[in-house]
Structure 1
Amino acid sequence: MGCFASGPHRHRGMHAVAVGAFAIAALSGCVSLPPAPAPSAESTPLDALVGLAAERLASAEGAAAAKWQTEARVDDPARTQEVLAGVRALAGQHDVAPEFAELVFIDQIQATESIQYARFAEWKLSPTEAPVERPKLTDVRADIDRITEAMIAELSGNRHALTSPDCTTVRDRALRSTVQNLELSDLYERALTRATQSYCVNAETP
């Protein structure tokens, strides 16, 4: 089963920010942890934020493994509302507009769910690829909460980049760099694009 990029070197060059979620994914036999790559020559102020978004997406591996063949659903409205309430509270503490933070995390949650659905489809079609061991969903969610708080801090620390006229250009560069450094699969690239689509909604018009 391919979690990130396909091919014999699919896990080479993953970024250090993904360590926490990648460790969770490893519980389902998904990934290994190689050395972090050298910094990109095209580094941007949004690299850390996009990297955290990718790390949060990777939590879908552990979440899917924990929910597989249980009564737990991929889409959990109660959990979503709990997360969004926490996002709004954290945004207020970090001087980030709660409405903006909520919009960002709605995209992030939906992108993460898309990966879980993809894994469920894979495992139904190829049962031998399904996880043998399941992480505890509470542990997965605790790691997700940690990443969420770090993302809110990055939203706060990068107000200028997120509201500048060149926000879209900067975000797209960070997206390309993250995809390249982590050697993300097509699924993860598309999910990360979805997760970051609202970053520049408050950007000034050039």
Structure 2
Amino acid sequence: MPAFKLPFFKRTCRLLSIGLVCAASYSYGAEPMQDQAFTPLFDATAGRLQIARLVVLAKWDSHQAIEDPTREEVVISTAANQAAAQGLSRAFAVRFFSDQIEANKVVQYGLLSNWRRAGKAPDEPRPNLVEDIRPRLDRLQVDFIQQLVATQDLRKEKDCPTRIAKASSLYAVEHHLDALYVVAFDRALARVCQD
């Protein structure tokens, strides 16, 4: 791929949605390379955000509220206990999984608003919230804990916030995440470097 000339690159960055590529590092004559160290953690985060769509579809049909403090407390407490058993800080796990839940609600509220404006939700299959969706979330929780353990040393480095920001920006571009999911992605990983 030909090298970008700096003025063209800057102009392109200004035009791109919420500066995804601009936040990533680049070098003359080469495309930016994604930092692969956090990719499995990003995959789990993106997977959980995709499930948010299924959750809000189920809630649309059943007229349930997006907020469910009782369920959220159970999820966070269970995750924190599992994380502590793997040597992670319980306080960190509470923050991290709280952020994951808040990020999911960003997606849910965004989609719900879109559907209300349209007057209908998409016509697509609806998995059962309890039987299908929650077991998937439980499996992702285990994946998250494994990745948080695997990246523990990296997350303690001083440059962790910068690495996360740059790598997640490139990840979002490579995986074609739209603006709503990018905002939610950033929210999900907002405190991942704080151990």
What per-residue deviation string (whole Å, max 9, x for no partner) do you get for residues 44-83 of structure 1?
3112112211111111111011111314221111110110
What per-residue deviation string (whole Å, max 9, x for no partner) do you get for residues 14-60 of structure 1?
xxxxxxxxxxxxxxxxxxxxxxxxxx833331121122111111111
Which 4+ runs in 1 deviate beyond 4 A?
none
Match 1:55 to one of 47, 53, 56: 47
| Equivalent-residue separation in structure 2 for 1:197 and 1:191 (angstroms) | 10
Deviation at 1:178, TM superposition (A): 1.7
- Give the structure with the higher percent helix: 2
Q: Name structure 2 gaps, 5 residues minimum.
A: 1-31
Match of residue 184 from structure 1: 177
What per-residue deviation string (whole Å, max 9, x for no partner) do you get for residues 88-121 of structure 1?
1111221111110110111110110111111111
1:110 aligned to 2:102? yes
Could you say what secondary structure the match of 2:64 adopts?
A: coil
TM-score by length of 1: 0.74
User: Residues 107 and 180 of structure 2 are in contact (CA less than 8 Å); yes or no, is this contact kept in structure 1?
Assistant: yes
Match 2:194 to one of 190, 198, 201: 201
Match of residue 26 from structure 2: none
Match of residue 155 from structure 1: 148
| Equivalent-residue separation in structure 2 for 1:132 and 1:46 (angstroms) | 32
1:164 aligned to 2:166? no
Could you say what secondary structure the match of 2:83 adopts?
A: helix
- AA in 1 matched with 2:177: L
How many residue pairs match? The answer is 163
1:74 aligned to 2:49? no
Identity of aligned pairs, percent? Answer: 26
| Equivalent-residue separation in structure 2 for 1:181 and 1:86 (angstroms) | 33
- AA in 2 matched with 1:69: D
| Equivalent-residue separation in structure 2 for 1:156 and 1:201 (angstroms) | 13
| CA separation of 1:90 and 1:65: change in aligned 2, threshold 3 A | same
- AA in 2 matched with 1:145: D
Farther off after superposition, 41-50 or 75-84: 41-50
What is the RMSD computed on CA atoms of the aligned residues? 1.6
Match of residue 13 from structure 1: none
Tell me which structure has the larger Cα radius of gyration: 2
Deviation at 1:194, TM superposition (A): 0.8
1:87 aligned to 2:86? no
1:137 aligned to 2:129? yes
